[in-house]
Chain A
Amino acid sequence: MSETLTLARKELLDLRRDRIVWIVLGTLGIAVVLSVIVASLDYRAQLADYEAYVAQVTASGSGVTPAAPQLFPLTLLRGGMEYVEVLGALFALTIGYGAIAKERSRGTVDLLLTRTRSGTSIVMGKLAGLAVLWAAIMAAIVVIALASVATVGGAAIGLHEVARIALAGIAGWVYVLFWSAVAVAVTTLTRNSTGALLTLLVAWLLVVLVIPQIGDTMDPDNQVPGGLFKALAIAKADEHAVLDHFTAYESARNGLEVSSISKLYERFTFATLGIKDTYNGQSLAFVWDGTFRYIYGALAFTAAALTLAAASGRRIHTLRRAS
């Protein structure tokens, strides 16, 4: 255990000196702030359009005015959460890959093995260091998100908002830890560093972008701009009744989506922050009822990745430089 902790401490020291880590934090932080700015500007533009419309309606003498657009502060974080989903996963892969590939490149695995009894200790030490690093980065993202919603979005932040953003941060930590563990496992098991990096890039593309995109593309409601059912002027209750005839198709589409940890993370985060309308203004107990299977799914994926990474330590010889 102390070997693992020593290696984790050493890894953290390495990571603190690594410029990529600071670039990652800067990029994710800027992306979150930028998204909040864009969402705030969009809301203000909608409000201005609404006020202009109300003025027109009032001038025409009509007493009927539509409901004003409402601002739910945490929904401003939608873009920021998607950036964590896409870029966070990519950065987690890159940092996880680098933690292992540098030992191969420097030829220091033999030296490390003189200080510890097993390859598993080396791998788990590195993962422990990465877990601490990601906890710090996600904590920083949570603070940046809170600050930008309060300042740029001009929203009041209470305990309710802090708790929800903190939960989203924890979900983000589990998510990026999954990707770092996958990167550590694949890099350890692959003798060729370039091959490992490209394999990881393909995995990122497929899991984060392609699979969720196929699910979205196959959604019947996404086939027409503005939504198919809206275009056909069909009420929500009737829409559900119609889709009941296509349960096999919908189950296959949903099954494809939930096979991606990115979608599980997205669904949980969007529910917690009230970005998905169904969960807006609802209690955390209600959110839990609707999303617990996504949480269990994401935890199962991460546990499997950590187990694979630990097992990959038994084949640490692949990291030794070929003589």
Chain B
Amino acid sequence: MSTVLTAARHELLASVRAKAPYALVAAFLGMVAASTFIGWRTSVTVTSIYDQVLADGLTTQPNPFTDVSPLYYVRNTVIYVLLIGSLMAATLGVQSALRDRRAETAALIGTRPVDGRALRAGRLLGLGLLLAALVGITQIITWISVSALVGGALTTSETLAIAGFGVLTWLLLIGFAGIGVLSGRLLRRERTALLAPVVVWAAIAFVVPQLGTAARPVSLLNPVPLPAQDSGAFSWLSQLLSPLAITEHFKTASAALLGSSYTGSPLTSAIVVALFACVAVAIAILIRSDRTTGGTHE
């Protein structure tokens, strides 16, 4: 147990001291902060457009944004978690795995009577704590900015929904951190170690959902999850690949929490995201690698 805690403490300290991933962390926090404003500005404009349409006598339909939940403004944050948060977590994971190799201290650690699995579990615990702190900051930013935009404190249920979204975000991020750690330990070069999780992310975010929905890749960055196609080859392809469409499940569960429109079962989607986190972390802890010693060369 002391190995786990010592490794976790060291991981936290080393991750905070490493300046390289700061740009990603800053981009993540910045975009989460900006997303609420973007959502609010867009909603205000759409309401103005609706008022104009009504004044011109062009429609009798009701305003689609009447009675919209204050959490509607947060829906873009889902995409920034998928885009920037996932890659930030994977990068932190890769950096964690490469740190000892770069400093050439891995061999030194190997001379000590340390259980490798406890060491790896401790490092992931440290990463998990760091990610929890970052997610916590984003949720506080979100709560304050939405409260400011709607002109009053959010209700308890809205606050709990934001907290639930935070937990879901953390699960997704720790899963990608696990993939990053694994990549850093298995691949020899830093370039390939960083590229591999990005390619895995791209496959999960674009290729797998495209095969199940026939959507074009970039449209999958829309916060609204796309329904699976139920005709032709897509009906069984979407069922077969559904467990791998982690990002679409994240969008579904998040949309349900934030009161946006969604397709599918939010509970199933939340379970898939949690399973993804468990499997990725377990594999990152259990798989051993001979590449943990030796430098990182291009």
A residues whose Cβ falls under 8 Å from a Cβ of B: 20, 27, 31, 34-35, 38-39, 41-42, 44-45, 48-49, 78-79, 82-83, 85-87, 90, 94, 97-98, 101-102, 104-106, 192-195, 197-199, 201-202, 205-206, 209-210, 212-214, 216-218, 220, 222-225, 228, 231-234, 238, 241-243, 245-246, 249
Q: Which of B8-16, B42-50, B135-143 forms contacts with chain A?
A: B42-50
A38 touches B211 (CB 8 A): yes
B19 touches A217 (CB 8 A): no
B207 touches A49 (CB 8 A): no
B210 touches A220 (CB 8 A): no
When distances are taken between beta carbons in the complex, the residues of chain B under 8 Å from A241 are 56
Q: Given contacts A87-B202, A205-B83, A238-B58, is CB(A194)–CB(B218) below 8 Å?
A: no
Contact bitstring B28-68, A, C-beta under 8 A = 1, else 0: 00010000001101110110111011001011010011000
Within the assembled complex, what's the spacing in Å between the Cα atoms of A34 and B216?
Answer: 11
A104, A212, A228, A243: which contacts B298 (Cβ < 8 A)?
Answer: A104
Q: Which of B116-124, B125-133, B191-199, B269-277 forms contacts with chain A?
A: B191-199
Within the assembled complex, what's the spacing in Å between the Cα atoms of A241 and B24?
Answer: 42
CB of B4 closer than 8 Å to a CB of A: no
B191 touches A94 (CB 8 A): yes
Chain A: minimal CB distance from B66 (Å): 13
CB of B6 closer than 8 Å to a CB of A: no
B46 touches A228 (CB 8 A): yes
A216 touches B42 (CB 8 A): no
CB of B284 closer than 8 Å to a CB of A: no
B87, B214, B224: which contacts A39 (Cβ < 8 A)?
Answer: B214
A205 touches B84 (CB 8 A): yes
CB of B293 closer than 8 Å to a CB of A: no
- Which of B24, B79, B214 lies at the interface centre, i.e. has the most chain A CB atoms within 10 A of its CB? B214
CB of B222 closer than 8 Å to a CB of A: yes
Across the two chains, which residue of chain A brings its CB closest to B98? A194
B residues whose Cβ falls under 8 Å from a Cβ of A: 19-21, 23-24, 27, 31, 38-39, 41-43, 45-46, 48-50, 52-53, 56, 58-59, 61, 64-65, 76, 79-80, 83-84, 87, 91, 95, 102, 190-192, 194-195, 198-199, 202, 206-207, 210-211, 214, 216-218, 221-224, 229, 231-234, 261, 297-298
Chain B: minimal CB distance from A205 (Å): 6
A27, A34, A82: which contacts B199 (Cβ < 8 A)?
Answer: A27
A210 touches B83 (CB 8 A): yes
> Can you list 15 A-B pairs, Cβ within 8 angstroms, ordered by A?
A20-B191, A31-B207, A35-B217, A41-B233, A45-B232, A87-B199, A104-B298, A198-B20, A209-B83, A210-B83, A220-B49, A223-B43, A224-B64, A225-B224, A233-B61
Within the assembled complex, what's the spacing in Å between the Cα atoms of A241 and B57?
Answer: 13
A85, A198, A220: which contacts B46 (Cβ < 8 A)?
Answer: A220
Chain A: minimal CB distance from B93 (Å): 13
Chain A: minimal CB distance from B293 (Å): 18
B38 touches A199 (CB 8 A): no
Within the assembled complex, what's the spacing in Å between the Cα atoms of A83 and B49?
Answer: 34
A246 touches B61 (CB 8 A): no
Across the two chains, which residue of chain B brings its CB closest to A42? B214
Chain B: minimal CB distance from A75 (Å): 10
A201 touches B198 (CB 8 A): yes
B50, B194, B207: which contacts A201 (Cβ < 8 A)?
Answer: B194
Interface of A is mostly: helix
Within the assembled complex, what's the spacing in Å between the Cα atoms of A51 and B164?
Answer: 46
Within the assembled complex, what's the spacing in Å between the Cα atoms of A69 and B39?
Answer: 35
When distances are taken between beta carbons in the complex, the residues of chain B under 8 Å from A246 are 45, 48-49, 52
When distances are taken between beta carbons in the complex, the residues of chain B under 8 Å from A223 are 42-43, 46, 64-65
When distances are taken between beta carbons in the complex, the residues of chain B under 8 Å from A86 are 202, 206, 217-218
When distances are taken between beta carbons in the complex, the residues of chain B under 8 Å from A104 are 298
B202 touches A105 (CB 8 A): no
B234 touches A45 (CB 8 A): yes
Q: A34-B210, A86-B218, A193-B190 are in contact. List 17 more A-B contacts (CB 8 A).
A: A42-B234, A45-B214, A45-B232, A45-B233, A48-B231, A48-B232, A85-B218, A90-B202, A97-B191, A106-B297, A212-B218, A213-B221, A220-B49, A223-B42, A224-B64, A234-B59, A246-B45
A201 touches B24 (CB 8 A): yes
A206 touches B46 (CB 8 A): no
Within the assembled complex, what's the spacing in Å between the Cα atoms of A212 and B218?
Answer: 9
Across the two chains, which residue of chain B brings its CB closest to A199? B23
Within the assembled complex, what's the spacing in Å between the Cα atoms of A218 and B41?
Answer: 8
Within the assembled complex, what's the spacing in Å between the Cα atoms of A237 and B27?
Answer: 40
B53 touches A38 (CB 8 A): no
When distances are taken between beta carbons in the complex, the residues of chain B under 8 Å from A83 are 206, 217
Within the assembled complex, what's the spacing in Å between the Cα atoms of A223 and B42?
Answer: 8
B298 touches A105 (CB 8 A): yes
Chain B: minimal CB distance from A305 (Å): 19
B234 touches A41 (CB 8 A): yes
A31, A198, A233: which contacts B91 (Cβ < 8 A)?
Answer: A198
A42, A106, A192, A238: which contacts B56 (Cβ < 8 A)?
Answer: A238
Chain B: minimal CB distance from A311 (Å): 22
Chain A: minimal CB distance from B53 (Å): 6
Within the assembled complex, what's the spacing in Å between the Cα atoms of A102 and B192?
Answer: 13
A102 touches B298 (CB 8 A): yes
Chain A: minimal CB distance from B69 (Å): 14
When distances are taken between beta carbons in the complex, the residues of chain B under 8 Å from A106 are 297-298
Chain A: minimal CB distance from B233 (Å): 5
Chain A: minimal CB distance from B5 (Å): 27
